Amino acid sequence: MNELNVSYDTSIPNNVGLADDRRVLKALEKWHPGYLDWWKTMGPEGFQESMVYLRTAVSVDPKGWAQFGYVKMPEYRWGVLLAPQEEGRTIPFGNHMGEPVWQEIPGEYRAMLRRLVVIQGDTEPASVEQQRHLGATAPSLYDMRNLFQVNVEEARHLWAMVYLLQKYFGSDGREESAELLRRRSGDVDKPRMLGAFNEATPDWLSFFMFTYFTDRDGKMQLESLAQSGFDPLSRTCRFMLTEEAHHMFVGESGISRVVQRTCEAMKEAGITDPYDIEAIRKLGVIDLPTVQKKANLHYTLSLDLFGSEISTNAANAFNAGLKGRYQETKIDDDHRLLDATYPVMKLIDGKPTLVNEPALTAINMRLRDDYSADAAKGVQRWNKVISKAGVDFELTLPHTAFHRHIGEFANINVTPDGELVDNESFSRQRDRWLPSVEDGEYIASLMKGCMEPGKYANWISPPKVAIDNLPGDFEFVQIAA
């Protein structure tokens, strides 16, 4: 069969020949009802009967890979789509470098790979759960549609991981697939596996921050799994990245529009001091210092997702050829890292200091650095919006050691500038650096649904361009349909 085209002749659209793979098809069909139950109980609250203008992946060919149209979310065609197989692809790093990629899992790496797939898989439904209450307070139909697009695609990414589990991991895979539907974000007894995915997403500013900072961690993880010597995993992740890019866009443009609206409102009201928070909040917009605090929070929670700076697990996965580095094939080195070192930030004499460590065990650190560089670029673009509006304020990313719960800096207190302080001093100043209860309450007070086509909540600008070349006043969600 041609893998560019998606087959719709089973209930699960796919380009992996499911119709001829009775065992896996049966397993997925058995999993499907539980999945739909999960979507209905843990997916977006309300709006399940609304017609939403969504894109559905219909091909993995870049020409016309997606189609836009109105669809009720429970009727979305979630499918299993892998990027086309590359003829003659070889393992690009680690001990097996240069060998042909694996189409089946080598027995000795089974457990390690299962863990990687399950962790990735667990984040996908988790974010849907975290965001399920946001529909009712959407600042516009356009934003609501973007939220739901992110949700259905994260759910499709769950499908992608479950396919790998069902296809390659036998009864273990079936059990893990079921577990993915049992865990719940923030649940005391059965939480999701990673910390940031158990935090609440209480408001739209958090949602934009989450899609900008936390989904970007997802992007980096997918990028490094896309390098994998296990070819089906690589191909799955490569296609997921095409969708993930939209999620980054929702975050970056979302914050950009918040910042722009704040600057405009300040200008109209003749306010020049960005720290005149009381006056700015009277305008019903989000003051820039609060945007900064939200960024501090979400950036640091996302840094924690990269794990410990020094990690033998990461080294093992690299050696085994299962998980590479960001843009592995574009890096100019031996791709084995036998003698290489990498500068790792550690706490030396009470000061965060760069120390050369074996590059192999510093894989996490390197990915995190690549992440930080990527995240910093968008912050610069937000700053352009601010400076263009003539407001004297600059958003920054806090120091790596600030507000950390995992790794080298988990048990110390550091200011956003990187200065070590004691517990008491940190607690006293915490609300200057991280969102306070009052900040949360103020943001919550702005969260009122704005559901008329073409109308946008007062705290956010309309988009410069909407999706699918449609105007901003298009009826992106037909609520009462």
Partner 1 sequence: MSKAKRQHLIDPEICIRCYTCEDACPIDAITHDDNNVVVDASICNFCMDCISPCPTGSIDNWRFVTKAYSLDAQFEWDELPEQEDIGDDNDSLGEAIEDDIGALISKAHAGTGGRPVAPASASKASINLFSRANPVVATVQGSYRITDADAENDVQHIILGLGDTVFPVLEGQSVGIVPPGTRDDGRPHDFRLYSICSARDGEKRNGNNIALTVKRVDGGLCSEYLCNLKRGDKVEITGPFGSTFLMPNDPNCNIVMICTGTGSAPFRAFTERRRRAMPGASGKLVMYFGARTPGELPYFGPLKKVPTSVLEQHLVYSRLKDQPKEYVQDRMRKHADSLTELLTSEQTHIFICGLKGMETGVDEALADVCRGKGLVWDEIKPQMRRQGRYHVETY
Write out the residues near partner 1 by the rule CB under 8 A.
2, 4-5, 8, 51, 58-59, 61-70, 219, 241-242, 245-246, 248-249, 252-253, 374, 377-378, 384, 464-465, 467-471, 474-475, 478, 481
The amino acid that residue 29 corresponds to is E
The residue among 380 and 427 lying less far from partner 1, judged by its C-beta, is 380
Which residues are bridge partners to 347 per DSSP?
352
Min dist. Cβ of residue 257 to partner 1 (A): 12
CA distance 90 to 371: 26
Cβ-based neighbours of 282, under 8 Å, separated by 6 or more: none
The residue among 170 and 471 lying less far from partner 1, judged by its C-beta, is 471
Min dist. Cβ of residue 74 to partner 1 (A): 17
The residue among 77 and 448 lying less far from partner 1, judged by its C-beta, is 77
The residue among 241 and 412 lying less far from partner 1, judged by its C-beta, is 241
Q: Alpha helix (H) ranges present in 285-416?
A: 288-304, 312-319, 363-388
Min dist. Cβ of residue 381 to partner 1 (A): 8
The residue among 145 and 167 lying less far from partner 1, judged by its C-beta, is 145
Min dist. Cβ of residue 474 to partner 1 (A): 6
Min dist. Cβ of residue 253 to partner 1 (A): 7
The residue among 168 and 382 lying less far from partner 1, judged by its C-beta, is 382
* Cβ–Cβ < 8 Å for 192, 198: yes
CB atoms within 10 A of CB 188: 7
Cβ-based neighbours of 270, under 8 Å, separated by 6 or more: none
Min dist. Cβ of residue 475 to partner 1 (A): 7
Task: Give the tokens for residue 32.
Answer: 């499907």
CA distance 376 to 379: 5
The residue among 22 and 377 lying less far from partner 1, judged by its C-beta, is 377
Per-residue buried b or exposed e for 100-128, using 16+ beta carbons within 10 Å of the residue's own CB: ebbeebeeebeebbbebbbebbbbbbbbb
Determine which helix (DSSP H) or strand (DSSP E) holds 69, and give its type and residue range: strand 66-72
CA distance 466 to 473: 9
* Cβ–Cβ < 8 Å for 53, 68: yes
The residue among 242 and 436 lying less far from partner 1, judged by its C-beta, is 242
Phi and psi angles of residue 124, each rounded to the nearest 5 degrees, phi first: -65, -55
Min dist. Cβ of residue 34 to partner 1 (A): 27
Min dist. Cβ of residue 57 to partner 1 (A): 10
CA distance 251 to 298: 12
Min dist. Cβ of residue 465 to partner 1 (A): 5
CA distance 380 to 387: 10
Cβ-based neighbours of 76, under 8 Å, separated by 6 or more: 54, 56, 152, 155
CA distance 56 to 72: 12
The residue among 60 and 180 lying less far from partner 1, judged by its C-beta, is 60
